[in-house]
Amino acid sequence: MEIIIHRGIDQIGGCITEISTDKARILIDLGQNLPDGDGIVQDNFANLDSIEKLTNGIDAIFYTHYHGDHIGLFPLIKDTISQYIGSVAKRVLLCKHERLSYIPGRKEISLNEISKIERMLSFVPNQVIEIGDIKITPYFVSHSAYDAYMFLIEANGKRILHTGDFRGHGYLSKGLLPTIEKHILKRGKIDFLITEGTMLSRLDERVRHENELKREVVELMKQYKNVFVMCSSTDMERLATFHAANKEVAGRPFVCDDFQKNVLEIFSDTAGKMSRLFDFGEPYSFRKENFKLVNWMQDKGFCMLVRATNKFDDYLTFLETQIDKSETVLIYSMWKEYINPTSKHAKKVYLDFVAKFPVVKKIHTSGHASAECLAEVCNLVNPTSGIIPIHSEHSADYQKLPINEDLKLKIITTSKILNGVIVEIPIK
């Protein structure tokens, strides 16, 4: 068996992991590098030639979730290679790309993307898929993308757990440790743990439970009548935090645009059937001509989901003439560095957008596991051969985690052969 970390060591995003036997080869994620502050993506793999070479002989690709840094290169994949993703994740991805097709000049690109997504296959949580002699089992995890999974990969008598992006402090995190214990470890030991470590370079950030955020949002909503919210339009748990908080401050409409409404409908139709927290009911799609809605917003206040786009600039210019500035707030609910002007991660469009609001409050918690949670997972899984840290700025930082001393010796950041398994990590 061979594990190749094509990309993901010493960088966040752009994850590509290959696992192969003599008879089968699969990829876990085919992510694109994250864009810089100006939205420019630099990615050596993002061309047909490189992807052709990389995927030559690959039988199937399994995506942990729909974030671009895990799935972004999918439009370059030939139709002969099967691509697998969660069934709800597929719907969200399709919804997003249908939306993108309206951007002028993007029609052709979008048509290709949409046809690739439509061809994607879905897996069922906890059910094994066999690709040649490799068995892959997806297990649900909580992340800032809904319908995200970790994968158990079994072949040649070896067992690998690839966590993807995950966290322990979401509404849907309760099953994390029990799943590892009762479903994964009960059937045998794990040889290799391939896991994320995003938060190791962000130890200054306080990781709080999504519930704590909700309480804080309710307090702000009591203080401010007109509440604008800037958060990821596909982060179901965060959207639920704002929706639930707005419900507590009764009488105010929950407003968004058509695209966001479509995404919320997918969540209501799936997760919403299992928990009322994710049933978003009937959100209001904003139109300047909808006098009834505008009057209601003026009268009672509102919670409105916004994004840094021209359309929302226009809505905002209109609403500014209708509402009282002193009663208005923007809750910024994304990573703080995107709006830190001195940060290398600062996004200019976000900074410009945020500057339009009289008051900005930051309320956020990460979509990634805290250092304590990572350590807990490592100690619990206790892999016999090695821990391969991916999705972290400095993979060697894993040594700083409060994990068992013998596990620290098992952290792998360079190529080696261990107990008959070849681990290949290309030098950057």
Give contact residues for Zn ion (rule: CB under 5 A). 67, 69, 165
Report, in Å, the least distance between residue 292 CB and Zn ion: 38
Question: Based on CB atoms, which residue is closest to Zn ion, 14 or 283?
Answer: 14
Least distance from C-beta 144 to Zn ion, angstroms?
Answer: 6
Cβ neighbours for 346, distance < 8 A, ≥ 6 positions apart = 37, 337, 338, 339, 340
Residue type, 231: C
- The nearest distance, CB 211 to Zn ion, in angstroms, is 21
Q: Which is nearer to Zn ion, 13 or 386 (CB)?
A: 13
Q: How far is the CB of 67 from Zn ion (least distance, A)?
A: 4
**Max CA distance (Å), the chain:** 69
Contact of 51 with 11, CB cutoff 8 Å? no
- Partnered with residue 284 across adjacent β-strands are 255
How far apart are CB 146 and Zn ion at their closest, in Å? 11
DSSP state of 207: P
In sequence order, which residues have a C-beta less than 8 Å from that of residue 228 and are 6 or more positions away?
304, 306, 316, 328, 329, 330, 331, 357
From start to end of 200-327, where are the E strands? 226-230, 254-256, 284-285, 302-306
Cβ at position 324, least distance to Zn ion in Å: 38
Element holding 212 (H helix, E strand): helix 210-223
In the numeric block, which tokens belong to residue 122?
Answer: 């879905």
- Tokens linked to 411: 């952290």
- CB closer to Zn ion out of 140 and 224: 140
From the list 178, 174, 153, the residue with the least C-alpha distance to 163 is 153
User: DSSP letter at 32?
Assistant: P
- The smaller minimum CB distance to Zn ion, of residues 303 and 369, is found at 369
Q: Which is nearer to Zn ion, 66 or 350 (CB)?
A: 66
Q: Which is nearer to Zn ion, 69 or 147 (CB)?
A: 69
Nearer to Zn ion, 9 or 421 (CB): 9
CB count, 10 Å around CB of 130? Answer: 11
First to last CA, the chain: 23
Minimum CB separation of residue 176 from Zn ion in Å reads 15
Cβ proximity of 307 and 332 under 8 Å: no
